[in-house]
Structure 1
Amino acid sequence: MEKGTDSVLVRCCRDRRFKVEEPRTGRLCTVDHYVRRRVQDLPVSGHPCRIEVELAQTRDKDGRRLIEATEYVARGARYTKRFCQFISGLCRYMSIHAVSKHLGIRWETVKNIDKEYLHSTLPGLEPEKLNNLIHIGVDEVARAKRHDYMTVVYDLVSGHLIWVEHGRKSAILISFFKQLSTATRDGIKAVSMDMGQPYQSAVRKMLPNADIVFDRFHVMQNYCLLIKRERAKAFRNGSNEERSMLKGTLFLLLKNAYKLDDRQSDRLGELLESNKTLCIIYMLKEQLQAIWDEPCYESMVEALEAWCRLARSTKILSLCNYADALLNRKVGVCNYAKYRLTNARVEAGNVSIGLLRRRARGVRDIEYFKLKIRQTSVPDTHSTFYPNIKLT
């Protein structure tokens, strides 16, 4: 134990039987003198551990001092490489604050170590090297809640994240497409996305031969927002008895009918009998979901147009507006029948990103956030807590 502290100090002497190599050229050279350097390593029995290593100092032909390179410590670093890997492994599952408290290291130091380690080890996202892309998914994800969005692009065949960039404008996605080779762009047959206009414009400009597929989840999500608004409207305008009936029923209206148990089905039936507008909207929701079961593009277009006519015949303003918006986008919606594409893999990645964002309580360093997003798409194939790195 080191005097006056609870940390372990390991002193290592250099094996002088081995020649010294000049760090820049790798040529054998003579030793000017030896220096000692202390670096922090993995904890030992719960105690911080510091290693004091002896290194040879040489001089080049211009008289400049050079310290020999080591495999286990980066140049100028105060931490061993395996300790940096250990910290990055903890940061994958814990907040920076928790890792800082656990190891007794400053918050900024933990973040910088994790950032540098990820930058040096994560595979690069280089669009110019991509090939054989057929189906891709595009979506936006918030860096903080409702603030600073990032654009993510996934290969829907392999499920891998292939690009991430700050911003969600059309120019951001166009910059990705410009980095692809002409052959790769021509090979993309379909792009799955939400119904936002910027991404549509980028795809139509850069991939004129690719089909846009509007994600089923986003189409139904917009319909669920319609249900929420109509229920809130019914609650505001209803009597005390009607309000009592509406309390706690939102999940019944949004949940698929086959997932309801008997008690929930009975309560939903009572609600729909008492409110005609909600009954119509709920029944149309069930019919809308069935559209994606159509076997081909033509039949799906017919089913969608029939549903929109039925929705407009109800004279419910919100339903009429939704039907008009759906008709304007029917090609993108019905392209699902051609490719059977959804953004499910993208949404799964967004869930991981959301957990990352909540764990960090917001990330101010955009470059670091991009690295963490890339990390969520890379499987943890080896133990980062007990890395197989040896001191030599």
Structure 2
Amino acid sequence: MSRHHTKEQTEEIAVDAGILVPLDLPEFCVLKQEWSGDGSLCVTLIAKTKTATCPRCHQCCEQMHDCRERVKRDINLRDYPMTLILLKRRFRCRVCRKPFTEPDTAYGPRRRTTAWLREAIGRQAATQPVAHVAQSFRVGARFVGDCFQHLARPLLEQRGLSLEKQNALPTPRSLGLDEFAMHKGHRYATILCDLEAGQVLEGSDGRRLEDVVPLLKRLATPQQVEAVSMDMSASFAPAVRACLPHAQIVIDHFHVIQHVMKAFRKVVSAWAHKKEGQILLYHKQHLFLRAQESLTQDEQAERARIGSHLSELEVAWQLKETLRTWYATATIETAEQQLDDWIDQVREKGPDALRQALSAFIKWKQEILAFFRFLPTRISNGFVEGKNNRTKAIMRQAYGYRNLGNLRLRILIGDAV
């Protein structure tokens, strides 16, 4: 017998050929599968059990009353829409003489979608805007939000968190507190993080004192907090002192260096516009702005050559590097004296921009020195700043968020999905 086929026979075999895809539903039996007119794959299922329990009298019933089709939408198989047709049987109880429908344990009562489809929608909604996901899956935006919340709920409960905004929060020993802009210059929000576990605890609207106090009051055991890392915010510190009187405020060293660098950039920019430094600093300002250890030997030599001609700029650079060295080498015993010496040096020979920056060191001196109390643990807001950058990326991807609840969930679950 010849094994060769005509073109028509080959096309017919290609249409009928396929692979068997497990549905992971051991309690169901597949009756048939077929292609529908719209190009979707339809699979007909029925439960393997022959009996059902009456919900009224709890008697086991075998007499089937009738059978009705229930259409369930499933995730696509490759690029083909998938539809499951579930034959739900109705039984008649011999004791109470009432008909009842067998329970739907696989998909849930009155569900028109499968659990896999709802999970897929929820996972995609964790990284994409709700409107985009709704358009992609051809479902409503409210349904996408429900799928996302259903996916996020168990992930949050594993960390002791909740979808509700008023529930108590787990209390670590070290907290990180910072703000981020939802609409820069108009609307801000506050993020609270667990620095020990590297997790976000909550994100709430507003950054003012009356906004931060309710957030901190939600901590389950506030007396357990030992340190709160933050920037030099005028609203965060009073809120922490009011709600966490036993906690030590630690001004993040990154923000301290950033504060000094802002003043130092003014010095470099001023010299770059002066006649003496215009040629010397042409395309060379980065040699003073970068950290000393990141410069090559040739770059260090070039920077020293420029500094020998611009003595005031050289003094400002040395003061900047002295502060960085202080953070890297000081201990709890030597930190205060070394900081006082640095402040005196800035007052004596520092440029005006650096002297003006000293007001922050005077106001926040004890909070800056608190950084050394917890060594070798470096209490820092680095994790919080990273989460803020990720939040900005999420908002750019969605062209902004009007609903803080959706943004809050995306921040809380992080990379868990």
TM-score by length of 1: 0.80
Q: Secondary structure in 2 aligned to 1:162?
A: strand
The whole-number CA distance in structure 2 between the counterparts of 1:286 and 1:259 is 12
The whole-number CA distance in structure 2 between the counterparts of 1:338 and 1:83 is 51
Aligned to 2:117: 83
CA contact (8 A) 1:135 1:190 kept: yes
The whole-number CA distance in structure 2 between the counterparts of 1:149 and 1:221 is 21
Could you say which structure has the higher helix fraction?
Answer: 1
Q: Choose which of 200, 205, 228 in structure 1 pairs with 2:242.
A: 205
CA contact (8 A) 1:227 1:253 kept: no
Measured after TM superposition, the shift of residue 204 of structure 1 is 1.0
Residue 196 of structure 2 corresponds to residue 171 of structure 1: no
The whole-number CA distance in structure 1 between the counterparts of 2:205 and 2:408 is 8
Aligned to 2:332: 297
Q: What's the RMSD between the two structures over aligned residues?
A: 3.5
Residue ranges of structure 1 left out of the alignment (5+ in a row):
60-64, 381-392
Q: In the TM superposition, what whole-angstrom CA distance separates every residue of 1:292-348 from its partner, at most 9, and x where no partner exists?
A: 235533421111111111112235222111112212211000011101311222223
Q: Which moved more, 1:273-282 or 1:362-371?
A: 273-282
CA contact (8 A) 1:96 1:111 kept: yes
Measured after TM superposition, the shift of residue 362 of structure 1 is 1.9
Percentage of matched positions with identical amino acids: 21
Q: Secondary structure in 1 aligned to 2:356?
A: helix
The whole-number CA distance in structure 1 between the counterparts of 2:109 and 2:262 is 55
CA contact (8 A) 2:43 2:85 kept: yes
Counterparts in 2 of 1:134 and 1:8: CA distance versus 1, 3 Å: same
Q: Secondary structure in 1 aligned to 2:168?
A: helix
CA contact (8 A) 2:126 2:148 kept: no
Q: In the TM superposition, what whole-angstrom CA distance separates every residue of 1:67-88 from its partner, at most 9, and x where no partner exists?
A: 7653443555443211222233
Measured after TM superposition, the shift of residue 352 of structure 1 is 2.9
Counterparts in 2 of 1:106 and 1:129: CA distance versus 1, 3 Å: closer
CA contact (8 A) 1:32 1:57 kept: yes
Q: Choose which of 253, 260, 265 in structure 1 pairs with 2:288.
A: 253
Residue ranges of structure 2 left out of the alignment (5+ in a row):
1-33, 93-98
Counterparts in 2 of 1:275 and 1:363: CA distance versus 1, 3 Å: farther
The whole-number CA distance in structure 1 between the counterparts of 2:314 and 2:103 is 74
Aligned to 2:303: 268
Counterparts in 2 of 1:288 and 1:26: CA distance versus 1, 3 Å: farther
* Matched residue type, 1:304: L
Residue 231 of structure 2 corresponds to residue 194 of structure 1: yes
Counterparts in 2 of 1:278 and 1:187: CA distance versus 1, 3 Å: same
Q: Secondary structure in 2 aligned to 1:49?
A: strand
Q: In the TM superposition, what whole-angstrom CA distance separates every residue of 1:257-280 from its partner, at most 9, and x where no partner exists?
A: 111223433443354345444333
Higher-RCO chain (CA-CA 8 Å, sequence separation at least 6): 1
Aligned to 2:387: 349
State which structure, 1 or 2, has the greater radius of gyration over its C-alpha atoms.
2
Counterparts in 2 of 1:345 and 1:212: CA distance versus 1, 3 Å: same
Counterparts in 2 of 1:346 and 1:315: CA distance versus 1, 3 Å: closer
Counterparts in 2 of 1:111 and 1:250: CA distance versus 1, 3 Å: farther
Residue 57 of structure 2 corresponds to residue 18 of structure 1: no
CA contact (8 A) 1:144 1:357 kept: no
* Matched residue type, 1:163: E
Q: Choose which of 124, 135, 138 in structure 1 pairs with 2:174.
A: 135
Aligned residue runs from structure 1 range 20-59, under 5 A? 22=55, 27=58, 34-56=67-89
TM-score by length of 2: 0.75
Residue 412 of structure 2 corresponds to residue 374 of structure 1: yes
Counterparts in 2 of 1:146 and 1:267: CA distance versus 1, 3 Å: farther
CA contact (8 A) 1:138 1:152 kept: yes
Counterparts in 2 of 1:116 and 1:155: CA distance versus 1, 3 Å: closer
The whole-number CA distance in structure 1 between the counterparts of 2:314 and 2:129 is 46
CA contact (8 A) 1:170 1:198 kept: yes
The whole-number CA distance in structure 1 between the counterparts of 2:278 and 2:83 is 66
Q: How many residues align?
A: 368
Residue 344 of structure 2 corresponds to residue 309 of structure 1: yes
CA contact (8 A) 2:121 2:144 kept: no
Aligned to 1:329: 364
Counterparts in 2 of 1:251 and 1:99: CA distance versus 1, 3 Å: farther
